[in-house]
Amino acid sequence: MTNNATITIAKQEENTRLDSLICSRFSDKSRNYIQYLFKQDLISVNGKKVKKKTICKEGDLIEILFKNLPDIKLDAEDIPLDILFEDADIIICNKPAGMVTHPAPGSYSNTFAGALLFYLKSLPPSNDPLRPGIVHRLDKETSGVIIGAKTARSLTALQKMFANREVKKTYLAICHGYIEQGPIQAPIGRHPHKRKLMTVLSDGKEALTSFEIKEKHQGFSLVEACPYTGRTHQIRVHAKHLNCPIVGDNLYGPKKACAARQLLHAHKISFTHPFTQKTLEITAPIPSDMKHFWEKMH
């Protein structure tokens, strides 16, 4: 089922990004849904298809075709997994950049959850039917170590360990500039005007990250980052807050990106196995795009 809407840009709305204006005009629609309409070419200005970053002018005629989102469901997908560790309860993989953790609006396929379901045939259910067996998540463009639960008992145990901060995560990132070393404690919350972004806010949630420069060259630094809390986009937000955004980060970095994706990699994860009580330290090799970028700096 679809329906149409036509709006005319008022003078006070000039110089506003089209996606922001539509979100404010139709506050009952989610930002993700508006992005979906843009991707499907269902929004036009003066009869022409446009991008979401289009700047509005007084008198512009905006036409919107509101189309229902497709039903989101989790399908098993025959996608090879790069398995780093596996036993009866836990599977740990190296997620490639470009793969989403689980289905969401605008990202219905090529998911880690779908690949896991195909490989294991069944997964322990969680509160969200789109996330069975999912213990934590990585951003789509972040590569590296990700854990899946094969059994209900491991899902519960691992989720509790993450909540209690008993899992140590170590990331590698390539940043613009030479980042300030040591821990940064700066609370993070949703950006008050740009709802797609997170930012440092005085009334945000506690967020603590430690940064250590491993190498630096030609205005870039290879950084080891350890997040001690689990806020959305935490490392990316803290790197930007220190004026050293991650290379290729199109949300928090320079508008002109010098890499195809954000050069952030979940390099290592360590924790005590909840049932064997053995210490696990699992490492995902540095991906080729990060290696090549850093080699070019020398």
pLDDT above 90 for 2: no
Q: Please state the rounded mean pLDDT for residues 108-127.
A: 93
Task: Give the active site residue among 78, 139, 203, 249.
Answer: 139
- Beta partners for residue 282, in sequence order: 269
112 burial (CB, 10 Å; 0-12 / 13-18 / 19+) is: buried
How does pLDDT run across 212-226, given as a tens digit for each residue? 999 999 999 999 999
User: Is-contact 62 8, C-beta < 8 A?
Assistant: yes
Instruction: Specify the pLDDT at position 257.
Output: 74
User: Is-contact 241 186, C-beta < 8 A?
Assistant: yes
Q: How far apart are CA 221 and CA 177, in angstroms?
A: 6
pLDDT above 60 for 238: yes
Angle of the 18-25 helix axis to the 31-39 helix axis, nearest 10: 130
Instruction: Specify the pLDDT at position 1.
Output: 46
pLDDT above 80 for 3: no
Q: How far apart are CA 216 and CA 199, in angstroms?
A: 26
pTM: 0.78
Instruction: Specify the pLDDT at position 157.
Output: 97
Q: What angle do CA 108, 111, 117 make, to 5 degrees?
A: 110
Computed over its alpha carbons, how large is the radius of gyration of the chain? Answer: 21
pLDDT above 80 for 208: yes
**Percent of the chain at pLDDT exceeding 70:** 99
pLDDT above 90 for 21: no
Q: Are strands 143-149 and 90-95 parallel, antiparallel or unpaired?
A: antiparallel
Q: How far apart are CA 111 and CA 88, in angstroms?
A: 22
Backbone angles phi, psi at 32, to 5 degrees: -60, -40
Is residue 139 annotated as part of the catalytic site, yes or no? yes
Write the Ramachandran bin of 277: left for phi over 0, alpha for psi from -120 to 50, otherwise beta: left
